[in-house]
Structure formats: structure tokens, C-alpha cells
Amino acid sequence: MSTTPVLALRGVSKRFGAVQALTDVDLEVHAGEVVALVGDNGAGKSTLVKAIAGVGPADAGELLWQGVPARVGRPHDAQDLGIATVYQDLALCDNLDVVGNLFLGRELKRSGVLDEVEMERRSRELLATLSIRIPSVRIPVASLSGGQRQTVAIARSMLGEPRLVILDEPTAALGVEQTAQVLDLVERLRERGLAVVLISHNMADVKAVADQVAVLRLGRNNGVFDVATTSQEEVIAAITGATDNAVTRRRARSTEPKTEAPQ
Amino acid sequence: MTTDLSRTPGDAPDASSGPTPPATPPPATDPRLLVRSDGLAGYWSDFLRRMRSGELGSVPVVLGLAVIWVVFWLLEPSFLSAQNVSNLSVYIVGTGLIAVGIVFVLLLGEIDLSVGSVSGLAGAVFAVLAVNEGITEWLALLVALLTGALAGAVHGFFFARVGVPAFVVTLAGLLFWNGLMLQVLSSDGTVNLDKDGLVGSMTSHFFTDVAAAYGLALLAVLGYFAAQWSEHRRRVGVGVPARPLSEIAVRTGALALAAFLLAYTLNQYKGLPLALVIFLAVLVVFDFVVRRTTWGRRVFALGGNTEAARRAGINVTAVRISVFSLAGTMAAFGGLLIASRIAAADQGAGSGVLLMEAIAAAVIGGTSLFGGRGTVWSALLGMLVIGSISNGLALLGSPSHLQYMITGGVLLAAVVIDSVSRRTQRSAGRT
Ligand SMILES: Nc1ncnc2c1ncn2[C@@H]1O[C@H](COP(=O)(O)OP(=O)(O)OP(=O)(O)O)[C@@H](O)[C@H]1O
Ligand SMILES: [Mg+2]
């Protein structure tokens, strides 16, 4: 693509003690584009998300925000750039109510005092536009179901007028109806010109909403695919590393299908 | 929602088949939503729901307090005499102020074991500066409070920045500040305070004019009603659920009853104690701070989920240091009121049961040991329980070991209630 990506990562590496979680990872996300980030368990997806969001900064590598190098050392830096993140391990405070969680870290004030009324009004409005149903915006988040908590976490990321939304397995805990709603939401974000990074293990979801699929394998890039022109098998092969397999390479080269070698 | 299974969804309602309703569209709101019906019935059912799901709040302590008062009153009618109520209201202030600081530390989910020593140190610093060195009392008071703030900030630094558990840091503080107090007092041993000086009068001054107590009661009731009323108006104005007027009326009525009864009782003796005014003012201010400011919200967030707070961009270190510093300041303030009550700073100040009483007060009053749940008012409620027990037993002529055992039992009961209600909340919350 010719336009400057909203977010570009170059050579990001991150190490946890003996584990090299990320090695030289590149990623590009454009405005109005949904990039699915896929990979096996432990591939480093969440680690990459935390590096972008400033929660666990990378050891090496570069982050370009709209083409300009930016430093994201704290969660605040990412928020200031316009990056909103929904974490896999939900970052909600169980003791605060829904309103308190939605506005945590960016509370509305009225002459220096928390404006609970306005925050409550906006929360109800936001939840209504996202068709999120919860018993009350004034009960502690601890008393919501897993899926309801997830929808609150997603709604939270929509509040600050972000440019880039990162969703780390947002549908993992959701029912059929709620999953459909989240996917609709992702499409609406793209229509509004936002950039979206969607992490999911569900290939059907990825196929339904993503434009590009970036594959991570053992902490390294393992290909970026265009969803429209790539088959699901190719993506899965990249995830599992089957593309490195001599048999599959040979099969890809040969035109006529042969009987497979015993595995 | 009930679905008519005999029709397929696509069926058009048949005009000839009579008044069968058209297929009901899914309701706009979930039928399970917690919609509170209007009026007192709604308030009552909401109250029951909260009790069942473990959100007990101040209910156990208020019930316990009522039982304690009735029992002591039956055993010794002078327990509720004007003089005794007045004494009790002055007695609870010193430790109560320390407990206010403890509430904030507990909201973080941490503990501060040094507050007793810090309170003793502040009393000693004030006494030596004001009495021995002859420095203006205002200045000495300020230095004493700053000493507490600094001591707390040191604890906060080691806890939040260096990562030493708060338990250990403040245990070290307990010893260190106690030693420093002994050094400050070394040459003099005990320093007597001027009863009519700035700090001395904090507990000895009474507003003898009956208008003072009644006026304060009236101010509290009007202020409470005005705040509730304006919030109600604003909520109705923008269309979010508001407290029903009947509930506001009941709450205001209950407050008015308590406030004027207390004012009447105090006026039967020496009038309104300045110490009580100080305590109530501190409670009102910090209640506002904790519920209505960003900082208060951050303290709660840290107590609920530190990682979530960090990811939300909150400066965890700064909030932690400020909370410990506040606890130190309140400990110093409480220490000054205790010194004022006994009109002296001595070497035993800040030791003994003071620390335990301050922590117990916060917990008994309903602030959770597990962080993230509680109110500033628990310092008052808890101190009323502890103060009533020790005062009542003293009136009955019981030895102090009995008082320790009973207070210990009450603390255990409070912690059990805290733990059980937390568990109930967890199971009710399915987390
Ligand atoms: N805080 C940590 N300390 C040590 N190692 C970590 C830490 N976080 C992640 N790792 C390691 O980094 C690697 C990548 O983990 P990550 O959570 O990014 O995987 P993931 O792709 O998100 O997996 P999943 O699909 O299961 O969520 C794993 O090997 C994991 O053990
Ligand atoms: Mg993950």
C-alpha cells in the first residue's frame, strides 16, 4: 500500500529471562484496515500487544506512528497517541462499578470534582450504541458474567476516540450473539476509518472481518497474507509451521496432487 | 419473553384467527435487568439484594453498635448520660483520626504498622518545639504534621519505589520512629502541654452556647439534603436513574434525628466539644476526597486491581506514596489530639494498644482488609464500637484485660464478616 501506515513496527524484540518471546517482529496497520494477528499459543501475540500498548515495552525495535518514530514507554504514551487496547487478561477493577471502569484513568470532571452524572449518562449511551446489555451500570464489575466483563472492556477501549484499536482475543469468552456483535463492531470501526488489530484463534472470525492476516510463529514473523486471496489452509500451515515442512513444499511445487507420504 | 411455539417466526398474524397478538419483538431491555421499582419498597428490595450478595457495607457495625449501647445502658444507665456521651465523643477523636489514615492504606490493600509510633513522635516534636523551645504553636503544629507526612512518604517510597512489602517497611518504621521519639524527648522525659494553648484546647475547648451544637446539626442536615437534592435534580435532568425522593427524605430524616439527639445530649453537659467538630470536619472532607476526586478513584482502583490501574495510565507509584504520606499525616494529627487529651507528651505515647485500636477501628467500621472496599466513615463507626466497649467496661469497673479480650473478639468478628462477605460477593459475582 502506498499510504503511510498508522502503526508500523520494525524489528521488535522482547526477552523474558530465558525466553526470547519476540525476535525481529515487523507489523504494519493502515487506517481503515483490520489486521488479524494469529499464531499458536505462546507465539508472542499478547507480548507484542503489550509492547505496543506500553505495558511491557520492547527491548529493541522501532515503533513508527503515522511514519514518525514514537517512544511508548508507559501505557499513558500509547493512550496519548490514540492506541486503545483490550487485553486478553481483562484489565478491569472488580471493585469499581461499570462507569468507574469505563472512565478509569480519564474521569470526567466538573469544576475539579468527578462528574458522576455525566459519566453515567455517557456510559449508558455508549453501552446502548454498542447494544451491550448489562444489569446496571452501577454494580461492581465483579458481579458481571465473563462475557459481560468482556463487553465492558471492549466498550472501554471505544471511549477515548482512538485511532488504533487492539483487541486481544475479544471473543474468547463470548456467546454466539455477542461474538457477532463484536465482529459487527470491528467492521464499524473499520468503516469509521480506524485501524484495528484483532487477535483470534478462530479462523472463521478472522476470515469474516480481517483484511490482512499477520502470522507469528515462535516469536517471529511467519508471513502476512491477504485474506481475500489466501485459503484458510495456507494460513493454518503458516501458524503451525507446516510451510517449513519439506513434504508440503514439495507438494506446493508439484502441480498434480499425489498420494501423500506417510507421516 | 415467551415464544409461541405453534407459529413459525415468519407467520403473518392471521386476521381471522381472532385477537392473537403479533409475534413479540425481542424486548429492548433484558428482563433480568436490575430495575429498581420506585419508592421505599424498591429501596427495601434493593437493600435485601445487596445484603444477599455480600455488599454489607456499614450494616453489621451499626447493628453491633446498637447492641453494645443497649447492653451497657441496661447494665449501667449512666452509660448514656450526657457526661459520658460527651467524654466518649472526645475520647474517640485521637485514635479516630489515625484510623482515617489507616482506611486509605487499607483501601490500597496494604497495611501501616507505624502509625502508633508516628503519632507519638508528632506529639513529642510538637511538645519539645512549642514548650521547651518556645516556638509559636502554629509553627510547631505544622512541623509536627510535616514530620508525620515525611515519615509516611519514606514508607511509601520504600514500598512503592523499592518494592519492599508495606508490612515490613512500616514494621521497621514502628521501631525507628519510636526510637526517634525517645531521642526527641530524651532530656525531658515528659513534657506537659499548656491546656489552653492551640493543641491543648483542641480537646479541652467546648462551645458552651447551645446554639453551636444545634446549629452544627442543622447545618449537617441542610447540607446533606441540599447535596442529595441537587444530585437528584441533575440526574433527573439528564435522564439517568436518581435516588427516589422518598429515600432522600428517609435518609435526611434519620440524619436529622441522630444529629439533633446528639446535639441535645451534648448540650446537657458542657456543649459541643471542639475535638468532635475537628473529627467530623476531617471525615466530611476525606469522604468527599475519596468519592468525588480523581485521586480517590485511583486509590480504589489500585485496591481493586493494580495492574488494571497501571494499564489505565495511572501513576501507581505516586498514588501509593501519597497514601502512605497521608496516613503519616493523619497519624501525626491524631497523636497531637491524644497529647492534647492527656495534656502531655510522654515516652509511652504511641505504644500499647493504640496501633491495634486504629487498625481495628477501620476494619470493624467496615473497610475491607483485602483492599478496594470501604468508607472513611468506618473510622468513626469503628472507633465508636471500640470506645464504647472500653468506656462501658470502665464504668462497670471491669479490669482492662477483659477489655482487650472483648475488643479482640469484636475485631475477629469484623474480619470474619469481611472475609465471608468477600467470599459471598465472589460467588454471587461468578468471578
Ligand atoms: N511475564 C512473562 N514472563 C515470562 N515469560 C512470559 C511472560 N509473558 C509471556 N511470556 C512468554 O512469552 C511467550 C509468548 O507469550 P504470549 O502471552 O505473548 O503468547 P500468546 O501468543 O499471546 O499466546 P496465547 O494464544 O496463549 O494467548 C510465551 O512463551 C510465554 O511463556
Ligand atoms: Mg495471548
Residue B28 binned pLDDT confidence (cut-offs 50, 70, 90): very low
Beta A19-29 vs A34-38: how paired, if at all?
unpaired
Q: Rounded to an integer, what is the distance from CA A155 to the centroid of its chain?
A: 14
| Residues A157 and A147: beta-carbon distance below 8 Å | no
Provide the 3-class DSSP secondary structure of residue B54. coil
Nearest by CB to residue A135, choosing from B32, B238, B294, is B32
| Inter-chain CB proximity A93 and B372 less than 8 Å | yes
pLDDT for B22 beyond 50: no
Which site among B311, B314, B430 would you substitute to test the A interface, given the most A Cβ atoms closer than 10 Å to its Cβ?
B311
- pTM (two decimals): 0.86
Residues of chain A with pLDDT under 70: 1-2, 243-263
Please report, as a single letter, which amino acid is at residue A209: V
pLDDT for B4 beyond 50: no
Which site among B305, B367, B421 would you substitute to test the A interface, given the most A Cβ atoms closer than 10 Å to its Cβ?
B305
Question: A172 is written with which cell numbers?
Answer: 474468547
Average pLDDT of span B174-200: 89
Using a CB–CB cutoff of 8 Å, tell me whether B424 touches chain A. no
Cβ atoms within 10 A of the Cβ of B336, count?
Answer: 29
Which segment of B3-12, B195-204, B419-428 scores lowest on mean pLDDT? B3-12
| Inter-chain CB proximity A91 and B314 less than 8 Å | no
Residues lining ion ligand 2 (Cβ < 5 A) are A 45-46, 88
Average pLDDT, rounded, for chain B: 87
Residue B150 binned pLDDT confidence (cut-offs 50, 70, 90): very high
A137 touches ligand 1 (CB under 6 Å): no
Residue B255 binned pLDDT confidence (cut-offs 50, 70, 90): very high
pLDDT computed for residue B306 by the predictor: 93
ipTM of predicted complex? 0.82
Please report, as a single letter, which amino acid is at residue A116: E
Using a CB–CB cutoff of 8 Å, tell me whether B292 touches chain A. yes
pLDDT for B10 beyond 60: no
| Residues A196 and A189: beta-carbon distance below 8 Å | yes
Alpha carbon distance A67, B314 (integer Å):
28
Question: A180 is written with which cell numbers?
Answer: 457477532
Alpha carbon distance B114, A103 (integer Å):
34
- C-alpha neighbours within 13 Å on the C-beta side of residue B257: 6
Average pLDDT of span B11-27: 41
| Inter-chain CB proximity B312 and A105 less than 8 Å | yes
Which atom of ligand 1 lies at the shortest distance from residue A49's CA? 18
* pLDDT over 90, % of chain B: 66
A163 touches ligand 1 (CB under 6 Å): no
Nearest by CB to residue A145, choosing from B239, B311, B430, is B430
Using a CB–CB cutoff of 8 Å, tell me whether A114 touches chain B. yes
Q: Which residues of B372-388 are buried (b: 16+ CB within 10 A; e: fewer)?
A: bbbbbbbbbbbbbbbbb
Q: Kindly give the distance from the C-alpha atom of residue A20 to the centroid of ligand 1, in angstroms, as a whole number.
A: 10
Cβ atoms within 10 A of the Cβ of A66, count?
Answer: 15
Q: Give B248 to chain A, closest Cα distance, Å.
A: 17
| CB-based burial label for B182 (10 Å; 0-12, 13-18, 19+) | middle
Nearest by CB to residue A117, choosing from B240, B309, B310, is B240
Alpha carbon distance B92, B280 (integer Å):
11
